[in-house]
Structure 1
Amino acid sequence: MAGPCPADFERMAAELGGFTCDGAQPIIGLRNPFGLTNWTLPVLEVLVVACAVLALVHAVRRYRAGDRVPMALWWAPVVYLLVIEIPVYFPNLVGAEDTENSMGVVFVHNVFAVEFLWDRLPLYIVAIYPAMTVLAYEVVRAFGVFARRGILAGAVSVGFVHHCFYEVFDHLGPQRSWWLWNTASEANQPAVAAVPANSIFLFATVGPILVTAVILAITRRRDGTGLDTFPRLVGAILCAGIATPIGLIIVGVPGRIAGGGGVQPNVGAQAVVLGLLTVAFLAVGAWFLAGAWLRRADQPLASAAPLVWLSGSAYLAVFALLWAVSLPAYFAAAEGVTASGTLTGSLPYAVACWLVCVLVLAAVRPRGTDGPAQVAVPADSGQGGAE
């Protein structure tokens, strides 16, 4: 058998897409995009990779203009992804499988056209981290939260925007067989429909907050020139990429304490704590964005970078289509399970997030030269320039 493949992985992989570890490549594997589980997989893959490419092109342009923050925010989430998800993919390698109170195999991705690490890591997952982080940062930057409120407020606002974009995707994935959550794993309880509360709170909300805060704190500490050399840029990327998983572990402690540990944790208490924490972070981020929007008569919002705005608009348009074609199976599902046996997410949650994303993109739509267009990175704002 090629690669470390525990029994839970083999069982879930067979259920999800009818694949196994036999013949999987340790570094990179390629498949016919027209031979995947269903047509939505290649559509998702092309969409997310295209968004990541647009974000990278934008980051390169800003880098050449003297603003290194978008470049750091593109690469730091990739480091963070590798640090935190590889142990999740291979729990048997870090002693987290088949032990009391362990998380076991938390989820299994379906196989896409491009795969890494014995078919554990699809290319689009690598791409979605930087694509969504840069998008959320640029939206918040255009709102002026960093300049007016500072790094911490801006970072929390990034978490709010990132959360909304991410949950549009997160609540559709299980139904369309993009991945399969292990419902027997303690890490996936409690859940909102098919989506674990830990995913909603930690990965959709807190992760981008920590990445953004660390990158901008490093920049600010060096009086706005902390990323002006390649070694410093790499150092900031590595620091944020490694610090974020540590921060997630710390922030996740209240939920674990509420559960009480043991073989059967208190899921109800966990749901209350994780729910309150998520609402608190989102409410604060929404408050800062709303405040900036309400002041737009005195200080108009800047235009978002055109390439980033384009990627966000394409993302929302394609997901509107993907959700639309998935609604018949969603409404025909019995107790959250479709006729094909896949779990459904929360349609109201996804719709609410989609609408928020439309509103924030509309607020910072490109308007030519009517918005502020800064090139230099202000030493006291933690803010990059507009494209």
Structure 2
Amino acid sequence: MIRSSRLDNGVQVLSENMPGVRSVSLGCWFKSGSRHEPADRNGITHFVEHMLFRGTSRRTPHQIAREIDAVGGLLNAFTSQEFCCLYSKIQGDKLPMALDLLADLLLNSSFAPDEIDKERRVIGQELHMVEENPEDRAHDLFNMLFWQGHGLGRPTAGTVEDLARFDRDTLVDWHRSRFTADRLMICAAGDVDHDDLVGQTRRLFDSLRAGELDMADPPPRARRQISVEWRELEQVHFCLGTAGLSQTHPDRFAAFVLNAILGGGMSSRLFQVIREQHGLAYAIHSGLNTYLDTGNLVVSGATAPSDWHAALRLTLEQLADLRAKPVDRDLLDDTRECLKGNLVLSLESTDNRMTRLARNEYYLGRQVDIDSVLDAFDRVSAEDVQRVACDMFRQDTLVLQLLGPVEDSVSAINDLLAFN
């Protein structure tokens, strides 16, 4: 059973009790992510997230780690384009301890100058890891290219140059202005009593004040772009993307089906054609990125330098084929059942249930019954998939990022980037 309550200061509490489960996943979700940062503050939310674990007025960093380890629990956090979340997974009877710990991190973090300098170095190493991983680097370059300077395209962790600008006052001010009551959703799934959770949340977070909600800049319209970063590598990494759909778009379920057919798994068209039939790539797949007001679909892979032309041509052929005719009925049925099965199996996880509470509330403003989602997949027709493919796979919105030993000119690559 899902229940929701809102405290006087604006904090929202959502819970789902799962009978027979002895653990609970607990998350403090703030409706503020990297897309809400101005360009000169890129990466600051992620930096603040790291600093929340570097000691409070009540606990040292070692005490934080030892307290959660002592009960076999998990404590972690992440920053994405639209959220910053601190979360824990723990035995149900240890929920009060976990919420007290999360509240302490969020409300009483010290932001000690020596810890800031230490964490700046840690995040710097994280950035170097991404820079030196060709697959990650290709995706970062693609995002910057696709989103044309918008916050959705800037790296969540910022850059080394960004990190150098953030002093203690800047971090504390950002924490105070963005980690506010009106942005906070406290979500729990598993062995949880809603009334107890509300009572403890009220006691721990009563001092948290509201702020002003971010008005995110509208995303740009996708337009045809090509970029190459030459690098001496053994492979050419590529990301080919186009405009997608938002989390609330009525065609989103057809888009999920389309993506699964195109590159969602080992039986997908891209995997079967590019890897199994032609042996051009070890990994090839497509993925949907869906946000509050926009989205995209991205095909990514890596080939030998002599093979990327062929891989790109075969990918474009699949896009053209999905536009040209409806998919086979048996394939449609199998894909819908696959997506439905993945969803149902995911619901056995308290983590996924907790995440679903937050995402439904943020994107839809309500909780959605599982059966209604399954029904929505069942209603997707072959004609729906073809129509969405025609809307998404367009010459004027294709964006291509290449990374590796690419000798072709952008003009020559532009001639390759065509389908009927």
The reply to whether TM is greater than 0.5 is no
- Greater helix percent: which structure? 1
- Normalised by the shorter chain, which TM-score bucket? under 0.3
With normalisation by structure 1, the TM-score equals 0.28
- Greater strand percent: which structure? 2
With normalisation by structure 2, the TM-score equals 0.26
